[in-house]
Structure 1
Amino acid sequence: MSEFSHIDANGNAVMVDVAAKVDTVRKAIARGKVILNEKTFRMLQQQALPKGDALAAAKLAGIMGAKETHRLIPLCHPIALSYVDVRFAVNEADFTIGIEAEARCTGKTGVEMEALIAVQIAAATIYDMCKAVQKDVIISDCRLVYKEGGKSGVFKAE
């Protein structure tokens, strides 16, 4: 057997068989941010961007992204999500939009990828909504900050 979970003894990619695992309640939270210039930030706040309300669109896009994670990441299991939310922290001091996504399910495998994809799709949607007025939007610092459930227990980023 290979020492890698997604590669068999012959070097072929395989999906991990989770059938024998016990269902547990699982939760993951990921965060990232989008950095704008002052003009774009003010337009976003006032819902005055040419494409409309960036945060409303990004929230829906992030939720949709989480639900499609298994279609985007090779060998990722489809998960029956019980909850997904995308939240924003609008920071006037540095013209950033903090993004936090939370995903939950009861199942045999975790929801970390779903939370991470939700943040990244929300960030890309904000970029798309802002690109008409700013080309150098920065997406940064996407990472898992919390997870619980399964045999590895709780993870909390420092």
Structure 2
Amino acid sequence: MALTHLNERGEANMVDVSEKIPSVRQAHAQAVIKMSAEAFDLLTQGKHKKGDVFAIARIAGIQAAKKCADLIPLCHPLMLSKVQVDFEIEQSNCSIKVLTMCKLTGQTGVEMEALTAASVAALTIYDMCKAVDKHMQIVDTKVLAKSGGKSGGWQLAQTDNEQES
């Protein structure tokens, strides 16, 4: 299997997508941030001293998706048509699941943009809540699904644990 991000001399190489047919492409990703009960309660009740953590994290995630090519060297700059950042509150384990979706009509996928949005939104929650809980963990960052392009759609299979929740 040939590596797509290396040229014939083994040097870093941005993939040429100019011959690909544009199609509607979409990707969904997630990141989970686990925290103490105290930090979780402040966050979910909107009583955090730094203000509306979810609003700031949502904006940070959207901005991050738009800046993905500036952060990850061989990513193509993309004209995103939609970036969505949502949060699922998971009371049972004091965690927040950051769920993102990126969409465009173009010649390359948007998985990295969705992952970047989820990661930066979770990092923003960490930054805004770290005064209350320095031991938060960001875990389970992954692509959940993608659609479009030559290879079509793909969805991550749920594990037994995920199906039970």
TM range (shorter): over 0.9
Alignment of 1:114-153 (within 5 A): 114-153=113-152
Deviates more, 1:47-56 or 1:32-41: 47-56
The match for 2:108 is 109
The match for 1:9 is 8
Runs of 4+ in 1 over 6 A off after TM superposition: none
1:28 counterpart SS class? strand
Give the count of matched residue pairs.
Answer: 157
Answer yes or no: is the 8 Å Cα contact 1:28–1:104 preserved in 2: yes
1:81 counterpart SS class? coil
Letter in 2 for 1:40: A
Alignment of 1:25-40 (within 5 A): 25-40=24-39
Deviates more, 1:106-115 or 1:89-98: 89-98
CA RMSD, aligned part only?
1.0
Offset at 1:53?
1.3
2:12 counterpart SS class? coil
Deviates more, 1:42-51 or 1:117-126: 42-51
The match for 2:17 is 18
CA offset digits 1:81-139 (Å, max 9, x no partner)? 00000000111111110110000000000000000000000000000010011100110
Quote the Cα distance in structure 2 between the aligned partners of 1:61 and 1:73: 17
Quote the Cα distance in structure 1 between the aligned partners of 2:87 and 2:115: 15
Offset at 1:50?
2.2
TM-score, L = length of structure 2? 0.93
Quote the Cα distance in structure 1 between the aligned partners of 2:35 and 2:51: 16
The match for 2:88 is 89
Quote the Cα distance in structure 2 between the aligned partners of 1:3 and 1:90: 42
1:48 counterpart SS class? coil
The match for 1:80 is 79
Matched, 1:157 2:156: yes
Matched, 1:47 2:46: yes
TM-score, L = length of structure 1? 0.97
Letter in 2 for 1:125: T
Structure 1: state its 5+ residue gaps: none
Identity of aligned residues (%): 44
Answer yes or no: is the 8 Å Cα contact 1:50–1:132 preserved in 2: no
